[in-house]
Amino acid sequence: MQLDHVTIRTRNLAVTRDFFLSIFDLEERERPQTIKRIPGHWLYSDDRPIVHLIGSHGHGIDCAAEAFDHVAFRLHGYQKFKEKLHTLGIRYTCMDLPEIEERRLFFRTPCGPLLETVFAASAHDFTDAKSK
């Protein structure tokens, strides 16, 4: 298991982006098309997008204005892990990002914080998912 990325919610995307870019010498790059509907930025260190920023209005359930939104872990064995969540009765949502060859599962801890698991995938994995 490796820490994959941290996602931070902010009311001021531009200021937060500029802060991370200048302090940590990160580089902003394009985000996958699938998530472009969500305002935000991906900031890279080398070839890894390790800081994800998303916009927040600061009201409503689970929408603190400035907060760490979730932590993501990079794992192996997507199908086996998905089956484990199902067996344990843990509700999850899936996100496939074929353009960067990743599959993701989102679920909550018993007390609420959001976790994400990230798995490497191939074009074959996405073809199989569409046929099911």
- Residues 83-126 have pLDDT tens digits of 999 999 999 999 999 999 999 999 998 778 899 999 999 888 88
- Give the Cα separation of 38 and 22 in Å (integer): 23
Alpha-carbon distance of 8 to 6, in angstroms, equals 7
Which residue segments constitute the domains of the chain, with CATH numbers given? 2-131 (3.10.180.10)
Tell whether the model's pLDDT for residue 64 goes beyond 70: no
